[in-house]
Copies of this chain bind each other. A is one copy, B any other.
């Protein structure tokens, strides 16, 4: 095991090359901003912009001799060969899709960092026993097609690969149709088996990511040694009433879906009250029908995003949601469906200790911390020793064009990742 600093390797990580690649990626789906530090990205999964970004990194992989392959969910792999034939690979990466008003670092940093780490290994002449695979998972964000993490869930066998075929985006396009169109556009790329479902189990998985929270920046630290991920439950709620003329229909006889939706969300706010401010409860998506100002709404759909690191809280309050909604309604009916359910995940000491050791060996400030956001890494936990590396981001802001980390902050995380990958790939 590599316990000390690997100076050649660390020096081979190029801060400038990594930053330039991130900025080149950020131009694809760019959202103009007021300053160079306030420019976001809108790159929905399986969109033309997503495919353009994937072609860009495929080009870089071909330049440095990595083997490119793609599985049936569109998960994209770049393989650096090890010295021992048949050894299980170390996998590292993240995702390339963004939120509709997303930033330039969420996800894409983890892909570019793994790519940079592998390139540095190769340039530094550091051989590894095991192969290293850089991965870009499909649809982590769930911004266009909910839920997120479809690619990693299918890879991990968490759900059959056709689970989401009927899910539609805001334009009415089904996941199945979008994926088929995407596969046709990437028909020239080598098809590989689908993860554990088709016999590919990694030796370990490591994901670098911006923190998406304020802790590292506030404490002046370089690296988060991520110990696990809080649990998430996503729900979709439909409130059904009756559409009537807004001018003639007395309020006493209406079945107004908007008013009952507001009552339901207000009641959920009470259910989700948490003086410790650890619980995360968000209603951020709503669709109203017919959505005309003078026709009473007959249908309101809204989303619930509920997260907590303690599984007991996650289960108890999550299971209470339906009853609270039903009790809040006055004249309408409601149906609730759970779209996503991930219990809190604990990362493996094999990886978390390697991250901590590398940070210490490189003289960086580090902190063991849980992740507030979910990540593809969550679904790797049952498969293999898994961990994550966080880097600071300005004001903790993410899922926003103002999301920002500096080139040195990002390079520090990648140097740790390079050392961890070298260690795990020789373990």
Please state if B284 and A286 are interface contacts (CB–CB under 8 Å).
Answer: no
Q: Which residues of B contact A170 (CB under 8 A)?
A: 291
Q: Which residues of B contact A307 (CB under 8 A)?
A: 246-247
Instruction: Name, among A100, A234, A256, the residue most crowded by chain B CB atoms within 10 Å (CB to CB).
Output: A100
What's the least CB distance linking A330 to chain B, in Å?
Answer: 12
Give the dominant DSSP class at A's interface. Answer: loop
Binds B, one of A1-9, A50-58, A67-75, A259-267: A259-267
What's the least CB distance linking A352 to chain B, in Å?
Answer: 19
Please state if A303 and B293 are interface contacts (CB–CB under 8 Å).
Answer: yes
Copies of this subunit: 2
Instruction: Name, among A248, A258, A279, A294, the residue most crowded by chain B CB atoms within 10 Å (CB to CB).
Output: A294
Please state if A284 and B288 are interface contacts (CB–CB under 8 Å).
Answer: yes
What's the least CB distance linking A378 to chain B, in Å?
Answer: 11
Flag whether A386 is at the interface (Cβ < 8 A). Answer: no
Interface size class, chain A:
35 or more
Give the residues from 173 to 227 in chain A that come closer than 8 angstroms, CB to CB, to chain B: 211-213
> Which of B212, B246, B277, B304 lies in contact with A248, CB distance below 8 A?
B212
Residue of B nearest to A212 (CB): B248
Binds B, one of A18-26, A121-129, A355-363, A397-405: A397-405
10 shortest interchain CB distances as A-B pairs: A248-B372, A293-B303, A246-B282, A247-B373, A100-B290, A213-B248, A245-B399, A245-B398, A295-B399, A212-B248
A contact residues vs B (CB 8 Å cutoff): 99-102, 141-143, 146, 148, 170, 211-213, 230, 232, 234, 242-252, 256, 258-259, 262, 265-266, 269, 274, 277, 279-298, 303-305, 307, 371-374, 396-400
